[in-house]
Structures are given as structure tokens and as C-alpha cells.
Amino acid sequence: MATPIEFIRENELAWQPSFSGDLSGGTYGYRGALIIEAGKQISADRKLPPKIQAKQVIMITEGETIKFFACELDSFNDLAPMVEKYKAFFTNGLYLLYVTDLEKSGTFEYEGIKFTAFPLDESSVWNELLDLADLDKSDMKALKEQEEKIETLYDELSSADVEEVSKTYEEMLTFVGESSKQLMGAV
């Protein structure tokens, strides 16, 4: 079986990566977006943006598994197609979802995989993870390399209590509402 990164490369699933490289201890890190459902191919060399994507992905892989995964999903309903595409790599890791149309947090299993999902209003996944890990932004800025930042974040999260109240997947579906994400920018 291919590694997650090999699968992503072979199937052209990386979207606007800001980092993709080796970390320590035989692990691999990725930051960017991942395609869940590709955009329409409009010519031989041109494709529309993805119809569905996992945005702001921060991922650490080890061998054939995803050890750590955090992302933004526009809708909780995007979880099913994401798991369908990447399920082989989600085994026993730390998987955190920030969802713009989710009204309550919860830890649940889907297809035998444990996820913890949080509503995402106006922050970024990175900032939410820093808060969850109780890390200071200035300390992270002092780290020069992207690799160090990803590893430090993971180290802190893996020893933190990140789980929410246990729910079923069906209960989580009842928490889906309108997108609450606030768009920032010029007014």
C-alpha cells in the first residue's frame, strides 16, 4: 500500500500546499488543502477549483498511516466523502475537524475512526489548534522552521485532553446548522 503522501501525489489531491516535507523520526508533514471532490476538468491542462476540499490541513503521516490530521470543512456533510477517499490511512491517530456549519462540539466515531469536531466561526485552524494545545503564538513564531512548528504543535496536542463530550455520528448530524464562519476583509 502507498503512503498517504504517495497517494495524494499519485492522485493529484494536494491543493495549494504551503509545506510538504520530512519531519523527524521518519514522519512526514503537510500543510495546505486536500481535494475531496475534484473540480471540473475544462481543458487538458486546466481544472476548476475543487468542489469539496479539506481546507487548512495540518497533517503528520508515519508509514502508511495518518498519525495527526486537522482541517476545516465547510460542512459536516463533507466528512463522509473525505473518509471515503482517505479511509485507508486513518487508523489510530489524532483527528480534529473544524466545521463551519457545526453548532456544537463532540467526539464521535465514523466508519470506525474516532474524530473530534468543533465549530469554526472566524479563526483559523492553526490558531484554534494553538489555543487547544495552550501554546503561545509568540513562542511558535520564534521557531524558524515549519517542521519545528508542526512537530511542536503535535507534541503538545498529543499530550493534551482534546476530546469533547462523546456523541454518536447521528447525534453530530443534528448539530449541523447554517455556516457560522465570518468572512474577514474590507467592508
> What is the DSSP code string of 81-114?
HHHHHHGGGEEEEEEEEEETTB-S-EEEEETTEE
Q: CA–CA separation, 69 vs 157, rounded Å?
A: 11
* CB burial string 134-148: b at 16+ within 10 A, e below: ebeeeeeeeeeeebe
Q: Global pTM?
A: 0.92
Integer CA distances (angstroms), 48 to 7, 38, 42, 77, 92, in order: 21, 8, 7, 21, 34
Q: CA–CA separation, 170 vs 109, rounded Å?
A: 10
Lowest mean pLDDT among 52-61, 91-100, 137-146: 137-146
Q: How confident is the model over 115-174, as pLDDT tens digits?
A: 999 999 878 999 999 999 999 989 898 998 999 999 999 999 999 999 999 999 999 999
Report the Cα 95 to chain-centroid distance in Å: 7
**Does residue 164 contact residue 106 with C-beta atoms inside 8 Å?**
yes
Helix, strand or coil for residue 71? strand
The dihedral over CA atoms of 39, 40, 43, 47, expressed in degrees to the nearest 10, equals: -10
